[in-house]
Amino acid sequence: MPCSKLVRDKIALELMNDNGVVIHRATRDELDLFLRLKLVEEAIEFALSSSVEELADVLEVVYAIAKLRGLSIEHIEELRLSKRELRGGFDSGYIVTWLNKEVC
């Protein structure tokens, strides 16, 4: 069964002459979707390994999404700080357990 996923540019160039591999440039809509999927993939890899390299991969994808959507990292940082001011951060490590809910 075929499997498609977004890969880094240099990885695609390395795979270009491999048999059984088809490479194409994503449309804008495809890229948006595949970047969101890549973000989940990298977040899961970080969650499973807690590797700083995997965390850097998460940031690389966030930067790519921002660029695709015409957002600056500074704008995202402003939103982060605004939300932190309004709702707080995660510094205290509070964990809430809802006793009457089956699924969070």
80 assigned to some structural domain = yes
Q: Is the pLDDT of residue 104 over 90?
A: no
Please write the tens of the pLDDT for every residue from 12-64.
Answer: 999 998 889 999 999 999 999 999 999 999 999 999 999 999 999 999 999 99
Question: Can you give the pLDDT at residue 52?
Answer: 97
Question: Can you give the pLDDT at residue 67?
Answer: 97
4 assigned to some structural domain = no
102 assigned to some structural domain = no
Number of separate domains in the chain: 1
* Domain membership of residue 42 as a residue range: 9-87
Please write the tens of the pLDDT for every residue from 45-57.
Answer: 999 999 999 999 9
CA distance 78 to 59: 16
Q: Is the pLDDT of residue 101 over 80?
A: no
